[in-house]
Amino acid sequence: MPAINNDLRQRLRRLGVQRGAKGMPPAAPKARGRDSVPAPIESVVNGREEQTKHGSYFLIENEYDLDHKHGIRSLGDWLQCDLATTIRLSQKEIDDLTKFAFFDIETTGLAGGAGTLAFLIGVGVIEEDRYVLRQYFLRDPSEEAAMLFALESMLKDRIGVVTYNGRSFDVPI
């Protein structure tokens, strides 16, 4: 390891930089007041608790007209494009985008496998003349079975999913 020249060493000392923890003040204690308790999701976003035969989970649902613009395109514009040649969705012929679900998840880790939970699952689908976005939120690990049951029920009539991470991450979780 190269030696530090004296000029740099003096500048670092003036800035309070030192080697090791000797002489450093102890860390300030964390606040334990009312503000340190996280607010329940119900008080932060507009959603509702849903019940299944496996328990409860939290659902946030928003509907958009197909002429709703996100950026320069309306949601309905995407129904008109030839997705089979634009993006590779699958090996199958794509004839109707309304049969697909647009899917993304947020997890407690990137490795997957045991211990990784999907705590937020977002699914967008075309229903009649609207784009419906459902966000399934896991408030506690005990709600996982209920959330996955509801998700499975919602996806059962879809022929495929469109994901950002695709088969490499979202689908296995």
Residues 105 and 70 in one domain: yes
Identify the helix (H) or strand (E) that includes residue 121. Answer: strand 118-127
Same domain, 145 and 88: yes
Structure tokens at 41: 């999701």
Phi/psi at 137 (5° precision): -115, 130
**Amino acid symbol at 32:** R
Tell me whether strands 160-163 and 100-107 are parallel, antiparallel or unpaired. Answer: parallel
**Residues 21 and 90 both lie in one domain:** no
Residues 21 and 71 in one domain: no
Q: How many domains does the chain have?
A: 2
Domain identity same for 138 and 70 = yes
DSSP string, 134-150: EEEE-SSGGGHHHHHHH
Let me know if residue 146 belongs to a domain.
Answer: yes
Confidence at residue 93, expressed as pLDDT on a 0 to 100 scale: 60
Per-residue DSSP letter, 34: G
Indicate if 85 and 162 belong to the same structural domain.
yes
Residues 30 and 53 in one domain: no
| 118 has a pLDDT exceeding 90 | no
The token pair that represents 128 in the structure block: 């009649």
Cβ–Cβ < 8 Å for 13, 19: no
Q: How far apart are CA 83 and CA 93, in angstroms?
A: 10
Q: Tell me the average pLDDT across 6-31.
A: 73
pLDDT at 137: 94
Q: Are residues 27 and 77 in the same domain?
A: no
Return the residue matching tokens 């003040």: 25
Q: Are residues 27 and 108 in the same domain?
A: no
Residue 173 lies in a domain: no
Q: Do 128 and 54 fall into the same domain?
A: yes
91 belongs to a structural domain? yes
Q: Which of 47-51, 107-111, 139-143 has the lowest mean pLDDT?
A: 107-111
Six-digit token string for 71: 């950026």
pLDDT tens profile 44-91: 899 999 999 999 999 999 999 999 988 888 888 877 776 655 555 555
- Residue 154 and residue 94 in one domain: yes
DSSP conformation class of 97: G
Tell me, yes or no, whether 72 and 109 share the same domain.
Answer: yes
- By the 8 A CB rule, do 126 and 142 touch? no
Which residue range is the domain that position 13 belongs to?
6-35
Mean pLDDT lowest among 2-16, 48-62, 81-95, 136-150: 81-95
